Amino acid sequence: MFSKDELIKRFISYVTCDTESDPNSSATPSTEKQWVLARRLVEELKVIGLSDVTIDDNAYIQATLPSNVAHEVPVIGFISHFDTSPDFTGANVTPRVIENYQGDDIVLNAKEQIILSPNDFDDLLLYIGNTLIVTDGTTLLGADDKAGIAEIISAMQHLLAHPEIPHGTIKIGFTPDEEIGRGAHKFDVTRFGADWAYTMDGSQIGELEFENFNAAGAEVTISGKMVHPGYAKGKMINSTYLAQQFIKSLPEQETPERTEGREGFYHLHHFTGDVEQTTLSYIIRDHDRDKFEKRKRAMHQIAQDMNDALGIDRVKVEIKDQYFNMREKIEPMMHIVDLAQEAMEKSGVQPIIKPIRGGTDGSQLSFMGLPCPNIFAGGHNFHGRYEYVPVESMLKAIEVIVNIATLASEKSKNTNI
């Protein structure tokens, strides 16, 4: 149905272009190098024949595949991001294609003895007989989310090459800076003009997600008092010891490494301090909105209790909400999830419906008025040297996109979805 060799070539051309984003930059995009791939994508969208291809001053790309049917069909969007994570280098990516994988260890880098093994990543065994694209062990791959971009463009190219396949208007959107939480910040939902959309940004084949964490960031600042240690009795207040007290006051079992599914957590991801001042940086996560609010109140209460015991305010907590669970925006129109599920089943893919233990552009877009579930793009082990993607999963993602378009047209004609 789709050219495997062409897909591999397209994907590799994307991942070998460094688009790492930078959380310390206030610009959009956060790195100049993201423009290189963004401009290439614009030209590619024009070459394959999409209409209304635009890129704005912040590198947000939009394009349109016009309807080829006479009846009215909801406008559906497909969205992916072209930046890669700053958690691990995306420069000088050297991908390798492994044909007919047989479940053995893959030596990514013989010199450094970096091995991708099913003993460590048992999901590899799901893909025996598949073609895998892996790293050389020194960089991430970039399937998050250049696999999604390759799939969307390939699906649009297929629909353009086969005008006999019925579909309504389809909108395409590619964004910068998703990996630093800003991918949807400057997305023009009104101009995009879709009734709903799907981010092609999931992992394992079959993933279909319409709920994610409620998320907040917390900064805990603890003030101490420095006195010469030889004369410190009754005078010194060591902020690092107070920080330990604060940490111990949170539930020990409610951390990322001890939770799963819809279980929330507190995650201390950065600690800096000395006697005079210590700063703790947390992220707070929970799928349940009430439990999420309770977690935020608990952090404030710990600070209040410590300050009351000290007789002076030395512990300060600042919490900022980051995003919310898109489920509350998706549930009133669950037919868009049902449509994606049916499209997967039509492709012979078993849907895996589960909550995202993280965030997604789809969450922010849903609260901006564009309901946006998340569909698999096929990659595994994102943000690190062990990242890989089965090409067959990418081919199925293309098929799912096409099926969504055709099913929407069919259902609109027969049942007016």
83 is catalytic: yes
Q: Is the pLDDT of residue 27 over 70?
A: yes
Q: What does 225-271 look like in DSSP terms, one character per residue?
A: B---GGG-TTT-B-HHHHHHHHHHHS-TT-SGGG--TT--EEEEEEE
Instruction: Give percent of the chain above pLDDT 90.
Output: 95
pLDDT tens column, 372-388: 999 999 999 999 999 99
pLDDT tens column, 178-224: 999 899 999 999 999 999 999 999 999 999 999 999 999 999 999 99
Q: Which of 22, 151, 177, 178 is labelled catalytic?
A: 178
Query: Given the DSSP bridges, would you call strands 61-65 and 170-175 parallel, antiparallel or unpaired?
Result: antiparallel
293 is catalytic: no
pLDDT of residue 416: 58
pLDDT tens column, 270-317: 999 999 999 999 999 999 999 999 999 999 999 999 999 999 999 999
The candidate with the shortest Cα–Cα distance to 368, out of 336, 324, 417, is: 324
Residue 215: CB partners within 8 Å, gap ≥ 6?
283, 284, 285, 321, 322, 323, 324, 359
pLDDT tens column, 125-140: 999 999 999 999 999 9
Query: What is residue 354's DSSP assignment?
Result: -
Report residue 417's pLDDT band, with 50, 70 and 90 as the boundaries.
low
| Ordered domains of the chain (ranges, CATH) | 4-211+325-415 (3.40.630.10), 214-323 (3.30.70.360)
Q: Is the pLDDT of residue 361 over 90?
A: no
pLDDT of residue 414: 80
Report residue 415's pLDDT band, with 50, 70 and 90 as the boundaries.
confident
Mean pLDDT along residues 60-78? 97
Q: Which of 18, 20, 22, 83 is labelled catalytic?
A: 83
